[in-house]
């Protein structure tokens, strides 16, 4: 099994373990004896699994190497972070509601008394933790705050985790009396804390970064090409998080477009508020770099590369260090947008394995598999590497699936944080 397939099975397993421990504690007949005990059981299970997933969600945000490898790339790790985080939140949200159903059997007032802060400190902590989580996630999902404010509201989740931990520690139940199960759950809360502190308070201390200066700024169409005065070890196809000091404190991911032995360069398209400011950067300004990350690329002797728009950037580095055969489909709306085409044509005179096929959707419509097969011949033996907008990659992935192309031959990356 490839490393990159381990992420999700590991999560299923880690989520299943507390369920199994819970099952072993009491016979099922008492767990689901009546409505009241059934609701209690659901309430307990949602808390157990939800807490484990919450801890994992924090860990998925660390950009740790082993995590990235387990999910086959940082883009996929972040997608898992979103999905598992949401699943965790829903479980923790329904945890008190299940338990309230049990109280509802006694009286509505009892259920209401249970759901609002009262005389029980353990329950109060749980309520406060969940309320903080709801507030923070409302800002994450439903209010568009801009990156900097969003980050602060998202960090409230660390406090939420802290309250949840106290809640878990002092809540009396037959679950918390099972020492092993309790330690298992607490362990995930602690993983969450380690991950949280690693990315927040201790980030400057623990996360390796480089400081460089901008040495060149070029502009073509709506893309800014930035070169900086330094090198880091990386594999072509990888990206790095960059912070341009003159624009603010934000870090954004950009693919490296230079060859592995040259000064680092990046291609940045005006897409949002931040990237628009990149055009105004000046030579000599400071850049802080975190990375490299990512694992786009393949070692197959024959490859098909499909780049959509600014998704061309990782292929620039890959083309410069090419030592296999690759057909690069460079898909843009119209000719003026193919800002890397000239450089690519130059590279192909030196790297003979590279064939560049520009594709203009304003002329030919969206790119499809039929066009690629007509141009490159049988693609079933070749590895396919894709980087581009989600819609383009989605339709291509779908038709490749229908064609029965083996998933292991497909390599792609999509960044839309």
Binding site for other proteins (CB under 8 A): 26, 30-31, 33-34, 36-37, 39-40, 82-83, 85-86, 89-90, 93-94, 97, 99-100, 102-115, 118-120, 123, 134, 137-138, 141-142, 172-175, 177, 416
Name the phi and psi angles at 329, rounded to 5.
Answer: -90, 115
Residue matched to tokens 């990206």: 239
Q: Is the CB of 134 or the CB of 152 nearer to other proteins?
A: 134
Separation CA 333–CA 221 (nearest Å): 12
Query: What is the distance, to the nearest Å, from the Cα of residue 8 to the centroid of all Cα atoms in its chain?
Result: 13
Q: How far apart are CA 274 and CA 334, in angstroms?
A: 25
Q: Shortest gap between Cβ of 37 and other proteins (angstroms)?
A: 3
DSSP H or E stretch at residue 85: helix 74-104
Shortest distance, CB of residue 114 to other proteins, whole angstroms?
Answer: 6
Q: Could you tell me if 278 and 350 are in contact, meaning their C-beta atoms sit under 8 angstroms apart?
A: no
| Nearest-angstrom CA–CA distance, 191 and 45 | 20
Of 5 and 86, nearer to other proteins (C-beta) is: 86
Q: Are 331 and 393 in contact (CB under 8 A)?
A: no
Q: Which two tokens stand for residue 373?
A: 């097969």
d(CA 91, CA 47): 7
- Contacts (Cβ under 8 Å, ≥6 apart) of 131: none
Q: What's the token pair of residue 160?
A: 């939420």
Structure tokens at 109: 């007032």
Q: Which is nearer to other proteins, 280 or 394 (CB)?
A: 394
Cis peptide leading into residue 144 (ω within 30°): no
Q: Quote the least distance from Cβ 25 to other proteins, whole Å.
A: 10
CB 100 within 8 A of CB 40: no
How far is residue 38's CA from residue 32's CA, in Å, rounded to a whole number? 4
* Cα distances (angstroms) measured from residue 235 to each of 30, 256, 299, 300: 57, 9, 12, 15
The CA distance from 252 to 293, in Å, is 12
Q: Look at residues 229, 291, 284 and name the one whose alpha carbon lies nearest to residue 256.
A: 291
In the bound complex, what is the minimum distance in angstroms from residue 253's beta carbon to other proteins?
A: 15
The length of the chain is: 417
Q: Which residue has the tokens 């037959």?
A: 174
| Nearest distance in Å: CB 143, other proteins | 12
Question: For residue 404, what are the contacts with CB-CB under 8 A and spacing of at least 6?
Answer: none
Minimum CB separation from other proteins for residue 319, in Å?
31
Nearer to other proteins, 9 or 121 (CB): 121
Within 10 Å of residue 204's Cβ, how many Cβ atoms?
Answer: 8
Residue among 120 and 222 whose Cβ is closer to other proteins: 120
Query: Closer to other proteins at the Cβ: 103 or 359?
Result: 103
């Amino acid at each position: 099994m490839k490393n990159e397939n381990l992420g999700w099975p590991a999560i299923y397993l880690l989520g299943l373990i507390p369920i199994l421990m819970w099952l072993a504690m009491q016979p099922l007949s008492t767990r689901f004896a009546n409505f009241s005990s059934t609701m209690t059981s659901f309430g307990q299970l949602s808390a157990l699994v939800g807490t484990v997933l919450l801890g994992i969600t924090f860990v998925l945000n660390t950009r740790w190497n082993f995590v990235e490898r387990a999910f086959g790339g940082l883009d996929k790790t972040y997608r898992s972070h979103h999905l598992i985080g949401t699943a965790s939140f829903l479980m923790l949200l329904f945890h008190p509601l299940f338990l309230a159903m049990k109280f509802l059997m006694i009286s509505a007032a009892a259920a209401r008394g249970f759901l609002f802060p009262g005389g029980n400190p353990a329950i109060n902590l749980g309520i406060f933790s969940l309320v903080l989580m709801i507030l923070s996630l409302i800002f994450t999902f439903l209010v568009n705050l801009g990156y900097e404010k969003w980050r602060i509201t998202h960090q409230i989740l660390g406090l939420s985790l802290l309250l949840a931990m106290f809640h878990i520690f002092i809540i009396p139940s037959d679950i918390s009396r099972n020492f092993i199960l309790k330690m298992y759950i607490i362990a995930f809360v602690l993983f969450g804390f380690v991950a949280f502190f690693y990315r927040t308070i201790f980030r400057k201390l623990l996360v390796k970064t480089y400081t460089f200066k901008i040495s060149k700024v070029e502009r073509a169409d709506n893309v800014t090409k930035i070169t900086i005065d330094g090198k880091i070890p990386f594999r072509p196809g990888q990206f790095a998080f960059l912070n341009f000091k003159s624009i603010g404190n934000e870090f954004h991911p950009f693919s490296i477009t230079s060859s592995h032995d040259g000064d680092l360069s990046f291609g940045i398209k005006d897409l949002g508020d931040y990237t628009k400011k990149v055009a105004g950067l000046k030579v000599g300004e400071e850049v802080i770099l975190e990375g490299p990350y990512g694992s786009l690329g393949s070692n197959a002797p024959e490859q098909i590369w499909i780049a959509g728009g600014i998704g061309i950037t990782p292929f620039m580095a890959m083309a410069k260090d090419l030592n296999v055969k690759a057909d690069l489909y460079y898909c843009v709306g119209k000719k003026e947008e193919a800002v890397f085409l000239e450089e690519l044509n130059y590279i192909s005179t030196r790297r003979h394995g590279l064939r560049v096929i520009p594709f203009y959707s304003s002329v030919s419509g969206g790119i499809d598999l039929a066009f690629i097969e007509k141009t490159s011949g049988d693609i079933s033996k070749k590895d396919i590497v894709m980087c581009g907008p989600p819609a383009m990659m989605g339709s291509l992935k779908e038709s490749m699936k229908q064609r029965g192309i083996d998933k292991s031959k497909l390599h792609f990356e999509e960044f839309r944080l």
